[in-house]
Amino acid sequence: MGTASTFTLLLACAPFVLEARQPVRARHAMVVTREPHATDAGVAVLRAGGNAVDAAVAVGFALAVTHPAAGNLGGGGFMLIRFADGRATFLDFRERAPAAASRDMYLGPDGKPTRDSIEGWRAAAVPGTVRGLEYAARKYGSKPWAELLAPAIRLAREGFPVSWGLAQSLRQSKLLARFSESRRIFQRDGRFFEPGERLVQPELAATLERIARHGADEFYEGETARRLAAAMRENGGLITVEDLKAYRVIEREPLRGRYRGLEILTAPPPSSGGVGILQMLGVLEGTGFERYGAGSAAAIHWMAEAMRRFFADRSEYLGDPDYTRVPVRGLLDPRYLAQLRSSIDPERATPSERLRPGNPRQYESAETTHYSIVDPQGNAVAVTYTLNGGYGSGVTVPGLGFLLNNEMDDFAAKPGFPNYYGLVQGEANAIAPGKRPLSSMTPTIVLRDGRLYMVVGSPGGPRIITTVLQVIVNVVDFGMNIQEATDWPRFHHQWLPDKLYLEPGISPDTRALLAARGFAIEVTRSMGEVAAVLAEGGWLHGAADSRVEGKAAGF
C-alpha cells in the first residue's frame, strides 16, 4: 500500500526512453485518485465492508474538500459501473443549463462570445454531483449515507495539510483572487498557504453535515438550495430554486465496442469521449501503427491523424442526445471507419483546413478529475467529475463553502467559434434551457475474455479523450505495464487549431521528424492526470499519474 516514486525521462538515441516505474500492487482491492486523502477515504470504506460504489461516493465527497480545483459539490460528472456479475451501467450527473439560459446569452454587442461563460456567476450550470453520488449510493451502494460523507466532513472541519502542489496552485490562481469569498478561503486574502499548513473549511463542513443528515434533497430543495439561489439573484446568476429542484440523474447504457479482441465499456453521449475512443481505436486497428514502436514519429503520426478526424466529426455531430440526434452507430460503423482510415496519408499530415466533418449518417440505421476503484468482490467503478476549468467559475458561494462550475462554456456559445479549450463546436451543442453540455469526460472499463482488465480515465478537457486512448494503446499495443503507460509522454491533436501538442518528454529528434511530415508542433505542459487499475495475473496493479500528487493504494 502506497505510492510509486517520481518518474524520469531520459532522452537517448531512441525517441525517448522511460525509466520504468512500478505500479502499486494488491490482491483484493485498489483505489487510485489524484489526492492521497481521498484515496485513503476510499480504502477505509472498502476495508469497512463497503463496495466500490460506496468507496466512489466517499472519494467524490473527499475530493470536494481536498482538491478544490476540480473536486466538487458545485459541478457534475459521470460514473461508469461494471459489476462482478457482468452487468454494467452509466450514471449521467452532468450539469444542466438553467431554465433562463438562451442560445445567444454569451454574445456581446459585436456578436462575439464574451468571457461570461468562463468566469463569474453567469458561467455556472445547475450542479449534478450531490444528486449523482446519492443516486449511486442508494441504488448500488451498501453503507449508510452519513458514513460515506464522514471522511469529507472530518477533512473540512479539522483541516488537512496543504501539499506542495496545492499550495502552488492556490497561490498562482488569478481566478480565485477575483472573487472575495474564494480569495478569503483559499488565499487568505494574500496570506498564501505554505506547504504543511492546514486548510480548514468550516462553511463547507457545515454544508456537508446538512447533506449527510438530510440527503441530496438538502442541496436541491433545502437550506443550501435557498441560499445558493439567493446568492445567484444578488449577483446576476441564473440558477433558481426551481432549477435545483428539477435536476435529475439519468441512468444510461454504457457505450460498448471492441479493440483487438478486448471489450470496451465507455461513456455514451452527452460525453463525446466514448465515441472518440471507439472511433480512434477503430481507425487505428488495421493500420499497423504499432509496429513502429511507442514514441516513434510514425506511430504518433497515425494516432494524431485518427485524433484529427474524430475531432472534426465531434464539432458537427456530438451533443446532448435528449436534445439532438447523435449518429453514434454511423460514427462507429466499420465502413465509415475504413473510409476515415483510407483518408490518412502514411507520410504526410493532413492540413485541417482541408478536412471537414465526415458523413456518418449514411451508415446509420443514431478541470476535471478522475478516479478508479476495484473492490474485493470484483466490482469496478470509474468516475470522472468536474468544475470544468480549474476552480470552475472562480465563485465560492458565500456561507456555503463550495466553488461553482463554469460548465456553460462547454456549450457552443456561438457555433463555429472556439471555446475555453479551443474547441470548435456546432449546432448540436448550442445552448438550450435544461440541456446538458457536451463533455469530453471518458471513464472507461476494458474487459478481456469477459473479465475485468482495466479501469481508466483522466481530466484535461478535450485532452481527456486522447489521454485515455494513449494509455489503452500503451498497454495493449506497446506492452507497457499500467504505470509506464500512465507516465509515458503524451500528445494531442484536436483538428482545430491545427497543431500537434507534445509533452516535453518527446525528443527533439521526433519533433523534427513530425515537423517534416507537415505537423505544426507546439510543446506544452503536462496533459491529463490518469488514475488507472489493471487486473492481471491475480493482482490489481494501480497507477497514479506522476504528473500530479496522486496515490494508488489497496489491500
Residue of 39, 368, 384, 442 with catalytic role? 368
Query: Which grid coordinates are listed for 48?
Result: 469497512
239: amino acid identity, one letter = I
Neighbours of 172 (CB within 10 A): 12
Query: Which grid coordinates are listed for 486?
Result: 500512465
Give the span between the Cα atoms of 295 and 315, in whole angstroms. Answer: 28
What sign does the dihedral 109-113-115-116 (CA atoms) show?
positive
b/e for 469-489, b at 16 or more Cβ within 10 A?
bbbbbbbbbbebbbbbbbbbb
CB 62 within 8 A of CB 207: no
Which H or E element spans position 284?
Answer: helix 273-284
Query: Which grid coordinates are listed for 100?
Result: 433562463
The helix/strand/coil state of 324 is coil
Q: 110 Cβ partners below 8 Å, 6+ apart?
A: none
Is 368 tagged catalytic? yes
Give the span between the Cα atoms of 403 and 396, in whole angstroms. Answer: 4
Spell out the SS3 assignment of 418-445. ECCCCCECCHHHECCCCCCCCECCCCEE
* Terminal Cα-to-Cα distance of the chain (whole angstroms): 7
Helices (H), 343-426: none
Do β-strands 551-554 and 500-502 pair in parallel, antiparallel, or remain unpaired? unpaired
**Adjacent-strand bridge partners of 396:** 403
CB 441 within 8 A of CB 388: no
Give the span between the Cα atoms of 362 and 351, in whole angstroms. Answer: 25
177: amino acid identity, one letter = A
Catalytic sites, residue numbers: 368
